[in-house]
Structure 1
Amino acid sequence: MRNEIWEWTGFNAMEPRVAERGDVGDGQVEVRIRAIGICGTDLHIMSGHANFAEPPLPLGHELAGVVERIGAGVTSWRIGDRVCIDPLTGCGKCGECLSGNKHRCPDSGEFGLQYPGGWQQYMIVPSANVYGLPDSISFAEATQAETLHCCLGGIDKLNIRIGEHAAVVGDGPTGLYFVQLLKAAGAGKVSLIGMRESRLQLGLALGADEAVNVSGASMQAPDAESQDIVIDAAGSESSLALCVNLLKRGGRLLLFGLPGKPISADVQTVVLKELSLLGTTNAPRVWPRVIRMMASGQVQVKPLLTHTYRFEEMDQAIEFARSQSDEAVKIIVSLEEDQEDEGGPR
């Protein structure tokens, strides 16, 4: 049984190859991948800016598909079930894993980061790592459950009170998701701060009350000490400084964007303003809530899915993501059988 794979092979390089499909072990399922989201982390790994793994390795951690084979002892899934995949794994035995916090496990890792990921037609994962999808959520939309679950876990840590003012710094996909989640959690005025006008306009369409462009000579300076909550979805030294400046005394700062290297922070201001700094990554327990929010329309994913490629065009999708980062919000690689014959971005 053949499995077609795209593999990261070196600095900004990838190649297709064919392998035999593996045996499905006890407690595992094989998923036939139907859609893959291209994440900025994939690009950072390929360029050497995120040292999660070494090539050769198939990347890909935003995944959805159909259960194809079932291992012994698995009773919760049936062949043909529509699912999305949680790429995070832990040892399953330590205190963190047993308490539902496998992302804090000393031996945790992710498919597509430390372990072979979903840039392939078929993928074997633990049965506990898949979540069922209602028919109302497309496979393309379902790839975003992975990103959304990280964002929702951060929102939970903020303990938002109805009517609080909040700002999101960073107009990438996570920033656009954070805007929606803040509104759903009861935040009052939500401001999106970024540098790309098209993204800022999309943020307004998705519920932001204000969009502030801080690029170039037209920079609009947000009011200092105006926010109860600020989320740093950019992950740079300048974005962190802006976040600290925006927060009221006693405010909360959620750190989500990854700088890729150590950066400086104005600790004196943090102390004197009595700010709370919260880091956030994965949130294993929120996956069912994410799927319910997507199905109900509380969070809109489809407006962010700007371009689609076929699986055989994976290298073109990655190159487009790398070269057209302003134009592409979220790129999807589709393995659906009813895709059109034309290639390229759609």
Structure 2
Amino acid sequence: MKAALMYGPNDIRVELTKKPDCPEDGLILKIMAVGLCGSDIRNLTSDSRKGNYPFIYGHEIVGCVDEIGPKQTKYKVGQRLFLFPGTYCMECDNCISGHSENCENEHVAKLAGTGGFAQYIAVGGEKIHYGGIYEIPDHVSYEAASLGEPMTSVFACLENAKIGYPDTLVIIGAGPIGDFMASIAKTRGAKRIIMVDLNAHRLEMAKQFGVDEIIVSKLDNPQFAIDEVLRLTGGKGADKVISATPANATQAQSLHMVKKGGLVVFFGGVPKGSMTELDTNLIHYNNIWIKGHFGASYDQSKRAFALACSDDFPADKFITHILPLDEINHGIELTKTGEAIKVVLHPWDESFYP
């Protein structure tokens, strides 16, 4: 099969490799579309495997069942499936309490998650048993269904942060995740959305997703974006601020953009080992609440996938580029420069869609 193998930082080669064997109690999924995620790009451009290469990334996976094992009875050949990368035991304390995204069972958590930048992927019986696999409605395209994965964490974040009317929300980061957040926040009733980013082009594109005001921040003047948020909110600050970039600096900035008693959410993962310098006096005296967010529970993932497949979500606006798998390096550049909102790759399509 064809796959995009990572041999090291920025060394991604599309080549032929062995098709996985079908597990006796599992299936082989023919991957029809796979989204290119910001975390994939971060992993592909850094020494994410610490020398353990080659490796296949890609976790926004949708496809159709190509083969089933003799002991697999739940799915049939030809079924169209969305493969949620999270897998939870539903037996540990966190799962039982409704926070399956914090599942304590490391073995179960590793049953799914990556391998999507290829034409096929093996899905084992344990993953099928524990769940997180959803059937794609007939009227929904594979491309739209692939948005179900990035939607899950955004959906869960906004729900857990109780975003709604009449919130003024600041989103730092105008990438695909920030755009998802703006769209869903408006659906949830947020009254005013202010988006902050260094890239003016990205910010202009974000306006179509319900962003009310944009702030082009300045790398050499972090105070500028803070002052603009305060100006737009009459000196009060926003009700809630979400830092949705992989940068320590925006986490530090966010504390100065939120009102007294407001909520700050750290959504974007920052480089491992890095530390964010926080003004703890500001946190203390302004009664600022800080929440970290990662992942989604099974319940949230299922509802997020349903939303991604519904007419209430403008999937076509988010997917700006559909490329063959051979063009993965081009897709990375389009995303990094901000020309693309969301890139979806076709492992079986040799044609180029600008």
TM-score by length of 1: 0.86
**Residue in 2 that maps onto 1:130:** 133
**Residue in 2 that maps onto 1:292:** 306
Q: Where do residues 252-291 of structure 1 align in structure 2 (5 Å cutoff)?
A: 252-260=263-271, 261-283=274-296, 284-291=298-305
1:331 and 2:331 are equivalent in the alignment? no
Q: Where do residues 115-194 of structure 1 align in structure 2 (5 Å cutoff)?
A: 116-125=114-123, 126-127=127-128, 128-194=131-197
Q: Secondary structure at the match of 2:57?
A: coil
Larger displacement relative to structure 2 (69-78 or 173-182): 69-78
The alpha-carbon distance between structure 1 residues 163 and 49, as it changes in their structure 2 partners (threshold 3 A), is farther
The alpha-carbon distance between structure 1 residues 186 and 98, as it changes in their structure 2 partners (threshold 3 A), is same
Q: How many residues align?
A: 334
Q: Secondary structure at the match of 1:242?
A: helix
Q: How far off its partner does 1:249 sit?
A: 0.8
The alpha-carbon distance between structure 1 residues 316 and 23, as it changes in their structure 2 partners (threshold 3 A), is same
- What is the rounded CA distance, in whole Å, between the counterparts of 1:306 and 1:5 in structure 2? 23
Q: Which runs of 5+ in 2 are unaligned?
A: none
Indicate conservation of the 8 Å contact 2:173/2:245, yes or no: yes
- What is the rounded CA distance, in whole Å, between the counterparts of 1:38 and 1:169 in structure 2? 20
Q: 2:212 aligns with which of 209, 220, 226?
A: 209
Query: Stretches of 4+ moved more than 6 A in 1?
Result: none
- What is the rounded CA distance, in whole Å, between the counterparts of 1:90 and 1:296 in structure 2? 26
- What is the rounded CA distance, in whole Å, between the counterparts of 2:266 and 2:51 in structure 1? 23
Q: Where do residues 1-346 of structure 1 align in structure 2 (5 Å cutoff)?
A: 3-15=1-13, 16-26=15-25, 28-48=26-46, 50=48, 54-71=52-69, 74-90=72-88, 93-97=91-95, 101-106=99-104, 107=106, 108-109=109-110, 111=112, 116-125=114-123, 126-127=127-128, 128-215=131-218, 221-223=228-230, 224-260=235-271, 261-283=274-296, 284-318=298-332, 320-321=333-334, 325-336=337-348, 339=349, 342-343=351-352, 346=354
Indicate conservation of the 8 Å contact 1:233/1:256, yes or no: yes
- What is the rounded CA distance, in whole Å, between the counterparts of 1:9 and 1:134 in structure 2? 36
Larger displacement relative to structure 2 (60-69 or 324-333): 324-333
Q: Secondary structure at the match of 2:326?
A: helix
Amino acid at match of 2:17: V
- What is the rounded CA distance, in whole Å, between the counterparts of 2:284 and 2:255 in structure 1? 11
Q: Which runs of 5+ in 1 are unaligned?
A: none
- What is the rounded CA distance, in whole Å, between the counterparts of 2:162 and 2:90 in structure 1? 29
Q: How far off its partner does 1:342 sit?
A: 4.0
Q: How far off its partner does 1:102 sit?
A: 4.1
The alpha-carbon distance between structure 1 residues 65 and 173, as it changes in their structure 2 partners (threshold 3 A), is same
- What is the rounded CA distance, in whole Å, between the counterparts of 2:258 and 2:329 in structure 1? 42
- What is the rounded CA distance, in whole Å, between the counterparts of 1:141 and 1:204 in structure 2? 20
Indicate conservation of the 8 Å contact 1:84/1:132, yes or no: yes
Residues 97-134 of structure 1 show CA distances to partners (whole Å, capped at 9, x for unaligned) of 4556443234134745xxx5111111122222321112
- What is the rounded CA distance, in whole Å, between the counterparts of 1:92 and 1:265 in structure 2? 36
- What is the rounded CA distance, in whole Å, between the counterparts of 2:24 and 2:280 in structure 1? 50
Q: How far off its partner does 1:303 sit?
A: 1.6
Identity of aligned residues (%): 22
Q: Secondary structure at the match of 1:89?
A: coil
The alpha-carbon distance between structure 1 residues 104 and 25, as it changes in their structure 2 partners (threshold 3 A), is farther
- What is the rounded CA distance, in whole Å, between the counterparts of 1:164 and 1:92 in structure 2? 34
Indicate conservation of the 8 Å contact 1:7/1:17, yes or no: no
Indicate conservation of the 8 Å contact 2:244/2:266, yes or no: yes
Indicate conservation of the 8 Å contact 2:145/2:309, yes or no: no
**Over aligned residues, Cα RMSD in angstroms?**
2.6
Q: Secondary structure at the match of 1:212?
A: strand
Larger displacement relative to structure 2 (56-65 or 186-195): 186-195
TM-score by length of 2: 0.85
Larger displacement relative to structure 2 (266-275 or 76-85): 76-85
